[in-house]
Structure 1
Amino acid sequence: MGRTAAILVARLIFAGAFAMAAAFKFAGMADTAGYIAAAGFPFPLLLAWLAAIFEVALVLAFLTGAYFSEAALLAGAYVIFLAFAFHGPNRWEGNQVEFGFFVDHFTFLAGLLYAAVHGPGEKLATGRGMIWRRES
């Protein structure tokens, strides 16, 4: 029972983190686009919308367990991309907070990789996916 509870709490934490990120994007899409543009990316408004939609898809995967391992791997790649794109080494000089944000992304990646390998657990999971399959 403790293992199941821990897995479900972890899934809720993953879902909550991406739900908050998506909510902030939807609430301030222009601000998000401005942040993306400031980092030098083209088509910032399109990228902001794609990021928000992607984060909603991650939330659904973490809550349902459908394609859980795939979602965790994609989320890990996304998190590391964000670390380098928005908190990378070019932002560290004179700003240790940015370095802290950068490192935090790797701790999040560690959890996502662990989740990808171990799957969504046996409770409250659809068992759908290409990598992880619930054993019967």
Structure 2
Amino acid sequence: MPQTAEHLNLFTESVIRQMTRVANEHGAINLSQGFPDFAPPAALVEAAERAIRGDHHQYAVTWGAPRFRQALARKHSHFTGMEIDPDAHITVTCGSTEAMMTALMTVCDPGDKVIVFSPFYENYGPDTILSGAEPI
């Protein structure tokens, strides 16, 4: 059987998953994850249906769909009063973990040290390790 990379031995069960498992074992309220107990708004469901039934079913450009980045730039400007160029200053990721990995891989070289202050989101340590840096 092929061996996995040695650095994978540094990872353990996700704290979020561990808390979910423990909450389920004890019938407790699980505050470690978001589990909505309501349906999405009808307008959102209808917009998703229109998008799915539409004729555009391709990947967006690497840094995110242009119209979405433009909307984010407008919102940023509205709330901060600062104009930003959506083509130069906004990258859209599929989630916060991916954004954190992108940021760490952009600024960290192998062997760099990253200060992780407590309390922290549990992925900061693993993201730092995967970027080749060392969490301290």
Higher relative CO (Cα under 8 Å, sequence separation at least 6) belongs to 1
TM-score range, shorter chain: under 0.3
Compute the TM-score of the two structures, normalised by the length of structure 1: 0.24
Q: Which structure would you say has the larger Rg? A: 2
TM-score (norm 2): 0.24
Q: Which has the higher helix share?
A: 1
